[in-house]
A and B are shown apart, each in its own frame.
Chain A
């Protein structure tokens, strides 16, 4: 009987190896195509491997970086993600602490509104949000993080309050009796305890902001500022002939940092997903 299960497991391993090849195949196809010269990337020849005639080396990548100004988009994406996530983590963990410990009527209303905001689809507010952002000049990559804080507060406040509730009050009381001000208590006592939740929330919010397309498209001036998803959509959506080689290279430039980051902090990403799902 043991031998039988062992054989079954070998079959399973083979099946899964095959399935995994299918799973990475789309990305490999894009990678191979990004190495071909532009004329050879047609719908008919997508599955042809690059050969000596069609191999273009890294020229598509050069074209993508210089011709499309892709580094600039990369910079904007990075800037927006970093500032937004940092702001969300700091402000929302503070707000969550306030909500749990003060527990006044206003705090409760704020908390339930946050939960409510998680259900609302973005299309509901897109027009009015873009107009509001325009009016109060929150429409550059340098301050769009305020908008992200507002729209992303729901999930972050929800995750943090869930965790703060499980922290015994005595720890904070002891710190305050010893003479800590609330701000010191927050940074020296609360932040270290919250660290796992901070990491999970940071990952969920980064995945959202880095890949977000519609919000920056509506809020930012597309002629001046383009994040990576905006650049790719703008590039592909514009009329006329599309430089397919540069397009494939741009996709790869977008994916590669994500995959590297994923392989490095895989453990935290998967824990973050589980934490987010169990609470959400």
Chain B
């Protein structure tokens, strides 16, 4: 009955969101796929060129460099963030003094935007590098890379920690008690009970950190700007750079083709995660 009555009201309930969704996502998405097969500088003059944009991606060696750098970055940052966040969550679910204060402080960097984060750390890291006599962020791609890892860890450990704490608090207390009665030591409770019980949280956090690492843009732009000579560019910044910072009629089409490839990579990660989550649910 409710369904039938509100069905007639679709111009009020569904239409505004659906229309905005078409303007803000669906149409740009479809159009973007079409444009990846075209050569254009402005949208009024578009020539269809087939797959040649995709072929040209391979010739642009900044793309393959950015790709492998991003893969390394996403995996490394994901491991560091998850291990740190889990250890902190484990300690904070014990009844130590000041847990709430610690939790509040660790989470705080999450609320600061990527651009501002980048400049905060640029100031700080350059100061440290200079006192160590090392090349500054803009001069060394290695330092820039590690700078981004430190920045992203500082930003996201708190977020993942919150998810792990929620997971750990949901582990039933009598299960742990039962294990202790049976003589399990704290390592055994950790590896045999706590970690298997919070596997859903582990999957979520791994997925979130991997995609965040892959999609990272703002922090990359403000911390290193891709310097030196595009060597610290991650994929998202490489695409932006191809679009807006290069002159020549071919670059916008190539940029759009890169964006499609980027999108496909993210979809593969998402599907892998979905598969992993559902297969675990079946087992339980």
Shortest CB–CB separation between residue A23 and chain B, in angstroms?
5
A257 to B279, CA, bound (A): 44
Given known A-B contacts A43-B136, A131-B43, A182-B6, A95 and B17 have beta carbons under 8 A apart: yes
A207: contacting residue among B7, B12, B111, B162, CB under 8 A: B111
Quick check: is A46 within 8 A (CB to CB) of the other chain?
yes
A57-65, A118-126, A191-199 - the one binding chain B: A118-126
A210 to B113, CA, bound (A): 8
Closest to A99 in B: B14
B26-34, B56-64, B176-184, B187-195 - the one binding chain A: B26-34
Given known A-B contacts A12-B91, A153-B21, A259 and B108 have beta carbons under 8 A apart: yes
Majority SS of interface residues in chain B?
A: helix
In the bound complex, do residue B95 and residue A149 qualify as a contact, i.e. CB atoms below 8 Å apart? no
Complex interface bits, B260-271 against A, C-beta within 8 A gives 1, otherwise 0: 101100110010
Quick check: is A202 within 8 A (CB to CB) of the other chain?
no
Q: Which of B56-89 contact A (CB under 8 A)?
A: 88
Given known A-B contacts A119-B270, A128-B35, A277 and B163 have beta carbons under 8 A apart: yes
In the bound complex, do residue B28 and residue A129 qualify as a contact, i.e. CB atoms below 8 Å apart? yes
In the bound complex, do residue A91 and residue B25 qualify as a contact, i.e. CB atoms below 8 Å apart? no
Given known A-B contacts A233-B222, A251-B119, A278-B204, A102 and B105 have beta carbons under 8 A apart: no
Contacts of A251 in B (CB 8 A): 116, 119-120
Contacts of A119 in B (CB 8 A): 266-267, 270
Given known A-B contacts A9-B95, A124-B263, A270-B162, A117 and B25 have beta carbons under 8 A apart: yes
Quick check: is B94 within 8 A (CB to CB) of the other chain?
yes
Complex interface bits, A122-145 against B, C-beta within 8 A gives 1, otherwise 0: 111111110111001010000000
In the bound complex, do residue B102 and residue A98 qualify as a contact, i.e. CB atoms below 8 Å apart? no
Quick check: is A247 within 8 A (CB to CB) of the other chain?
yes
In the bound complex, do residue A23 and residue B127 qualify as a contact, i.e. CB atoms below 8 Å apart? no
Given known A-B contacts A176-B2, A233-B115, A270-B107, A121 and B26 have beta carbons under 8 A apart: no
Interface residues of B (CB under 8 A from A): 1-3, 5-7, 9-10, 12-14, 16-18, 20-29, 31-32, 35, 43, 88, 91-92, 94-98, 101-116, 119-121, 123-124, 126-127, 130-131, 136, 154, 159, 162-163, 166, 204-205, 208, 214-215, 217-218, 221-222, 225, 236, 239-240, 243, 252, 255-256, 259-260, 262-263, 266-267, 270
